[in-house]
Amino acid sequence: MTNSLLWTPLAFGLIGLAVPRRYAGWWATLGTAVTLGIAIALLAGFDSGASGLQDTVDVNWIPGLGVDYSLGVDGLNVFLLLLTAVLWTAGTAFAAFREQRQPHLFFLMMLLGETATLGSFLAQDLLLFVLFFDLMLVPFYFLFGAWGMDREGGPTAAAATLKMIVYTLIGSLLMLVAAIATAIISADGGHLTFSIAELAHHPLAEGSQRWIFWFFAAAFLVKMPAFLLHGWMPDAYRAAPLPALAVFSGVLAKVGAYGFLRVVLPLFPDATIEFQEVILVIALASILYGSVMAFTQTNVRLVAGYSSVAQLGFITAGIFALSADGADGAVLQMVNHGLVVAPLFVIVAILAERSGTEDLREMGGMAMKAPVLAALFLIVTLATLAMPGSANFIGEFYILNGLFDSKIVFAFVAISGVAMSAYYALRLYQRTMHNRRPEGLESREINWRDGIVLVPLVLCILGLALYPQLILKRTDASVQSSVAALGGTRPNREAAEQ
């Protein structure tokens, strides 16, 4: 099951090279839809009570180097897998409705990207995780560079993409060294293994944990991106083709946050506790900086991009609250944010097609003749600002709850992020949808093609808003065991029960 989930997209992509050009997009969409089906089946068979891995695959891959091909599903990744499958189906379908240059290659890269992303969520071997983490970059390098837009007066798509690759690989190459060091120090001359579960049983000495922690943290923080490591983001976001950007922003950023939960917390507990406040400061800085930048940007993509920086800051803060509540909220919020930001980029694409610009100052009045589009956008906006009643509200509530328990000062600062998100989300909505309609802007209802892509995503948001327990119930057991190593308990509930 896990194997077919992982390799279905790539298999479809490779076969797709032989499909006639006209149908390449539809073939790829079929591939993502099949993957989505497998992901749903996986969720259906998921045992929500268990904290251990399920549906595991474990094969000796390179015995000479101690690397195993080992995959598994647990509460941490099951919904991220589903999110990946959902967003990729939407993104691929959105791209298939539009004309693409060199469609064979475009869709092959999209599907390779899906396999790599699923792989990094599924991997239970540290080295396999690093491998998939790096592999994700390759398809997106091509997608952003070859199908992106050169900006007038700015860097070319190729230059912007190169910047992104260099930034992200700085982190992930150091992570490769750190991963190998972890295994070797932990083996101490004995049997070399990269299995995350086994490594967690033999924690390293505190001195080694310190530097290894930062090598991993660098990789994950760049990927998100966090404040000070976000330099690649504006250029790459402006260059990227929107269908690829939707999945990139929706899913790939989460891999960084997921890496903290899967790798850093269980493997380096001492360093995590030691550097908890440093990471929290970075997280809060990301919230504040991302929000403030999102206020001021006039490019629609960048508003969404910087809002992601802020949101990922929230997720990081939740993880580094080092309590079960915070981590629960972080996992929920990862899914929520993916579900919000991907439709946001789809809407950006639709808006740009109608107004011929991505500049907020030249937009407005779009809601006039497009009530359905406006309504869909409104739902996405309200979810972004974590309106009570939305799943995002629950997620942020859990995160703040966890943070209050452990670091109350940080929680107060983080709360300001909630208020600011309301401002930039509503600003985006009003500037595009309300106000006077400028010359040359066409207010047009969305057609059925975009509707097919957008409506299911919005339905997912609504569904989660009604029943967030769907996620919380299944993730809780795994999250508990992930933070257990840090002594993270659930003080509030235990107190209530007593």
Please state, in angstroms and as integers, the Cα–Cα distance from residue 120 to each residue in 72, 123, 128, 259, 335, following that order.
11, 5, 8, 9, 16
Residue selected from 127, 221, 261, 310 as contacting other proteins according to rule CB under 8 A: 127
228 sits in the region (left: phi over 0; alpha: psi -120 to 50; else beta) called: left
CA atoms 206, 258, 166, 9: torsion sign: positive
Residue selected from 20, 22, 63, 496 as contacting other proteins according to rule CB under 8 A: 63
CB of 261 to other proteins, least distance (A): 22
CA 70 and chain centroid, separation: 22
CB of 64 to other proteins, least distance (A): 4
CB of 334 to other proteins, least distance (A): 24
Largest separation between any pair of C-alpha atoms in the chain: 72
Taking the C-alpha atoms of residue 179 and residue 262, their distance in angstroms, rounded to an integer, is 13
CB of 221 to other proteins, least distance (A): 16
Nearer residue to other proteins within complex by CB, 30 or 271 = 271
With contacts defined by CB under 8 A, name the span among 127-135, 225-233, 402-410, 421-429 that binds other proteins: 127-135
Each residue 324-363 as x (binds other proteins by CB under 8 A) or -, in order, gives: ----------------------------------------
**Contacts to other proteins from residues 426-445, by CB under 8 A:** none
Q: Is 184 in the site for other proteins (CB under 8 A)?
A: yes
CA 167 and chain centroid, separation: 17
Q: Which residues of 212-250 are buried (b: 16+ CB within 10 A; e: fewer)?
A: bbbbbbbbbbbbbbbbebbebbbbbbbbbbbbbbbbbbb
Residues sharing a CB contact under 8 Å with residue 238, sequence separation 6 or more, in sequence order? 149, 151, 154, 160, 299, 301, 302
With contacts defined by CB under 8 A, name the span among 140-148, 253-261, 461-469, 486-494 that binds other proteins: 140-148
| Total interface residues for other proteins by CB under 8 A | 35
DSSP 97: T
**Contacts to other proteins from residues 154-183, by CB under 8 A:** 156-158, 161-162, 165-166, 169-170, 173-174, 176-177, 180-181
Q: Is 452 in the site for other proteins (CB under 8 A)?
A: no
CB of 161 to other proteins, least distance (A): 8
Altogether, the residues listed in the chain come to a count of: 498
| Binding-site ranges for other proteins (CB under 8 A) | 61-65, 67, 102, 105, 127, 131-132, 134-135, 137-138, 141-142, 145-146, 156-158, 161-162, 165-166, 169-170, 173-174, 176-177, 180-181, 184
